Chain A
């Protein structure tokens, strides 16, 4: 009997969760898992070991898919798509609901398997991952039910290839599969090679839940399998969560393919503690920010920014708390930090920590030692870190926190935003003014006020900047899995006769940069021809320096984003008013350039300006219904500087159709007008100049459209590019955009009827012009 000794020590003893049922489950499958294709479990042709990182022992053999198996999975998904996409929303909702129930009924098995395979503490897989998986399917059962009414005019994208990481194997699977199948898509999902076991367990639940064969397909294997999915011509969309490096490869690989792409990538998220924060609670926040899941979290609060006045006190408190953390057997219910997923990750963490020490940062780790066997790493704090240090810039993806002091809220914003990433941020202050102001200014898709790492299916999650694009969860996440059904074809416009006696050459239009007419850097002009092929004017032949100047001017005008929506609307109305005064002149000009009637286009452009003036103060955010006492605010923010390559077919209306939604919501733009008919846009500069539009909000660079769009796409200080042109142009834009992972929107092949209001304007444009930031604001005094 050891009670007397334990009464003296009052230690925590071992508290292991039993793995016997999970072991039985694996044994029943002879510890060998295949693929799930077309509703059937298919034995793999080759296998590799899936290892429990806490013990280093293999728990199962997982199949390595061949290209043929990838093809079979895509084919199965394609076959299933026809029926599933037409299955009524209510029927799809029932299937998702059944999946949610299956997850709940098998919750403990899933949690234990996840912990065995991944090394995360059983508390997290049991209390966080698996309940969120069920929650995601419940929530999206609802979207399936409402799809026809809430997303009228939209249909599924098709076959979706989904590639997920090893840090939240089941949860990322749920984030991917639930919205996809809710909206009528079918999926081919590849789990990470380190952690495939629960995906196959999930496949079995799909069978039990009555998911029709082929709607969900799961194939396992390494990165080559992922590449095969991405390159497969039968895949309509790729959804990826993982590293920014791989995201960049996918952006290049899918460029010009027409495949829709959503990327949820890396982060180096700031955790900001102001002097008036509840410091003890903020310390617990740090624990949940960087020591949750061993720090292997894309949105981990890995950069601690503390106001100088409380810095030392906070660091003392944090160290005391770190002494209390428990690292060890992930199946132990009283363990805080489990195993790092694999030796290769552990090696990377150790290398980066060594780099941190080498670069002069001060390392601190608790006095206790980690278990020797298995992949473990202690919680680690670096102080005296400069923003230039490697460990301050690179995503470590481990339990390593870097701390910096700041003096003022302004400096805290600068430091927080001094990163390529923009996934999340956590802000601690008891001052509501400071908290909300900070939340507005930080570049991140999710901001947690006095909290951290809160997730829910009803709130979108996703990044700014190089943390990727697209959202997962909530209404905003649904848009990634639907596409607009096009509405009709363009009407035939009446041909018009050329004007008699028009002068052969009239005037040379300049570029429009920073509110001024500017000569092109090249010193060359391009001749513009009329419908009969006769020269009718010249425009500047813009080059990369002109683009550079225009981007600078657009950035200088960023205060436009903070102007009131009412103010932006007034200016758009004023532009419309001034254009309408000169409607006949613009109509004649269009007729000369295009040889067809022009007035209908001018009138449509005036109406379109009215549309976006109207939307300016109506494209609202939302308050999401997440399980939180407080408000989770989905706020709509401009993308920033957007490059616009305008459609050829409607020289004025096409230009207005892109520029107006972008600036209505606070972006500033660099627009490249129709290459063939640029004069409508250059004429418009005079209208813009007389309509109180601040200089730099709209910049126009004429010239060779594809080449200029490519320059815009490669410019790292441009946050978005819309390219309405050729497939080759789109491909170059999408590939070049990978540099800073800018948001691109490319269309080619004249799909759109610009004269039609359903086709040529509306929320689709406004969504492209904005990104959603979710601000979690717990309340209660």
Chain B
């Protein structure tokens, strides 16, 4: 019953080495025709987790997949090399080895999707993750409020790229969206993308500060047109962060963009995702709206930190049949 999403029009052969989204000229017609009905979106979001569920071995597999897409994150004023190194160690070995072995996954090299830090800790993280496949993501462009001069935002990206960040999580100026200045937003994200160079760009929309869901959809489209590799819900610092309703609007935009252009853009919800059950709901959202490919780390990430602890706890229960105490699992 598995189906793959196809772009409408000419079918595009799936390729292993995923080409990046090159973007396209700003398409105001597409932006103008967007309509989003909040109540209907919320109804769909509310029943995603009641219409689908995974149990037993399937649930364990999905939880491991959730681990694989976590951008293990710390974004605090008191971050230092000590806690960032610890975080990186956890990213390399996110689930206790005996648990993975028990699930026959010991040889799979299970890691988190990335480690995500502020610029000042990029070098530390890169060093700590050397030899692993785990990339370092840097939040950038005046994160989280984006209220810094444009030239400094560009410079911040460049510095993080130089420091070794393979992924840059940029944050947009909400002013462009609230003022419906789509050209301004497009130009901003385009400039970010240029500065990112070979590093992949995740564009944070800060959905909780965009006023309404139509703006969320419009900003998603403009960000993708401007060359986003991923679109991301939030910084985690807004009052409202990743909700399934916001996520639903964004993944529908990703689907539309793919079907119009054939370009695959990834999705990253971040902020407030703490429980294993939530992670499953987000995976269900991706499978239902976009298909299995969008459940993979190259197109899906979850920005989180505490989430990993809960997932590991659930996996421990799956393997042993009993619930583990927090101190029995290596801390983040």
Q: Report the bound CA distance from A630 to B283 in whole Å.
A: 31
**Is B277's beta carbon under 8 Å from chain A?**
no
Contact (Cβ within 8 A) A7 B65: yes
B39 within 8 A of A: yes
Specify which chain B residues have a CB less than 8 angstroms from the CB of A284 in the assembled complex: 40, 43-44
Collect the chain A residues with CB atoms within 8 Å of residue B64's CB: 3, 7
A-side interface mostly: loop
Most central of B2, B61, B62, B292 by chain A CB within 10 Å: B61
Over the window 248-270 of chain B, the binary record of Cβ atoms lying under 8 Å from chain A Cβ atoms (1 yes, 0 no) is 00001000000100000000000
Determine how close the nearest CB of chain B comes to the CB of A91; give it in whole angstroms. 38
CB-based contact B40/A333 at 8 Å = no
| Alpha-carbon distance A3/B65, docked complex (angstroms) | 11
B40 in contact with A1 (CB, 8 Å) = no
Q: Is the CB of B51 within 8 A of A278?
A: no
**Contact status of A630 and B39, CB under 8 A, knowing A10-B292, A280-B252:** yes
Taking the nearest CB of chain A, how far is it from the CB of B58, in angstroms?
3
Tally of contact residues, B, Cβ under 8 A? 46
A367 & B53 in contact (Cβ 8 Å cutoff)? no
B55→A15 contact, CB < 8 A: yes
Interface stretch among B101-109, B154-162, B199-207, B218-226? B101-109
B-side contacts of A779, CB under 8 Å: 39
Determine which of A7, A15, A281, A326 lies in contact with B1 in the assembled complex, contact meaning CB atoms within 8 Å. Answer: A326
In this complex, what residue of B is CB-closest to A368? B1
With an 8 A cutoff between CB atoms, is B97 at the interface?
no
Closest chain A residue, CB of each to CB of B288: A324
Count of interface residues, chain A, beta-carbon cutoff 8 Å: 44
- Per-residue interface assignment for chain B, residues 271 to 302, with 1 indicating a CB less than 8 Å from any chain A CB and 0 otherwise: 00000000000010001100010010000000
CA distance A268 to B59 in the complex (A): 41
B8 within 8 A of A: yes
- Contact indicator B287/A333 (Cβ below 8 Å): no
Contacts of B47 in A (CB 8 A): 127
**B104, A278: Cβ atoms under 8 Å?**
no
Question: Are B104 and A1 in contact, CB atoms less than 8 angstroms apart?
Answer: yes
Interface centre among B36, B39, B53, B62 (most CB of A within 10 A): B39
A36 to chain B, nearest CB (A): 33
- The answer, among B38, B52, B102, for a CB contact under 8 Å with A780, is B38
Q: Does A186 contact B (CB under 8 A)?
A: no
Asked if A674 lies at the interface with its beta carbon under 8 angstroms from chain B, I say no
A688 to B105, CA, bound (A): 90
B212 within 8 A of A: yes
Determine the distance from Cα of A9 to Cα of B291 in the docked complex, in whole angstroms: 11
Interface of B is mostly: helix
- For window 1-26 of chain B, which residues contact chain A by CB distance below 8 Å? 1-3, 5, 8
List the A residue with the shortest CB-CB distance to B248. Answer: A280
In the complex the two chains form, is A3's CB within 8 Å of B37's CB?
Answer: no
- In chain A, positions 278-299 with a C-beta closer than 8 Å to chain B are 278-282, 284-285
Residues of B close to A123: CB separation below 8 A: 50-51
Q: Are B62 and A10 in contact (CB under 8 A)?
A: yes
Cβ < 8 Å to B, chain A residues 746-773: none
A611 close to B (CB within 8 Å)? no
B41 at the A/B interface (Cβ < 8 Å)? Answer: yes
Q: Is B317 an interface residue (CB 8 A)?
A: no
Decide if B238 is an interface residue (CB 8 Å cutoff).
no
**Cross-chain contact A13 with B55 (CB below 8 angstroms):** yes
- CB pair B2 A11 closer than 8 Å: yes
A10 and B284 alpha carbons, distance in the complex (Å) = 10
Residues of A within 8 A of B36 (CB): 278, 281
- Closest approach, in angstroms, between the C-beta of B61 and any C-beta of chain A? 4
Q: Min CB distance, A387 to chain B, in Å?
A: 27
Contacts of B62 on A, CB cut-off 8 Å? 6, 10
Give the nearest-CB partner of B2 in chain A.
A11
Residue of B nearest to A369 (CB): B1
User: A85 within 8 Å of B by Cβ?
Assistant: no
Q: Does B57 lie at the interface of the complex (its beta carbon under 8 Å from any beta carbon of A)?
A: yes
Contact B105 A278 (CB under 8 A): no
Task: Evaluate contact between B60 and A3: CB separation under 8 angstroms.
Answer: yes
Q: Does B54 contact A (CB under 8 A)?
A: yes
**Chain A residues with CB under 8 A of B102:** 1
* B40-80 interface code vs A (CB 8 A; 1 in, 0 out): 11111001001111111111111011000000000000000
B57 touches A13 (CB 8 A): yes
Q: Tell me the residues in window 463-485 of chain A with beta carbons closer than 8 Å to chain B beta carbons.
A: none
Q: Which of B1, B60, B292 has the most CB of A within 10 A?
A: B1
**A430-B35 in contact given A1-B104, A284-B40, A324-B288 (Cβ < 8 Å):** yes
The 4 closest A-B pairs by CB, nearest first: A13-B58, A778-B39, A281-B40, A6-B61
> Other CB < 8 Å A-B pairs besides A278-B41, A323-B3, A778-B37, 10 of them?
A13-B54, A13-B57, A13-B59, A127-B47, A277-B35, A428-B37, A450-B40, A629-B39, A778-B39, A781-B213
16 residue pairs from A and B, CB less than 8 Å apart: A1-B103, A3-B103, A6-B58, A6-B60, A7-B65, A7-B105, A9-B2, A10-B287, A10-B292, A280-B252, A285-B40, A334-B51, A334-B54, A451-B43, A778-B37, A781-B38
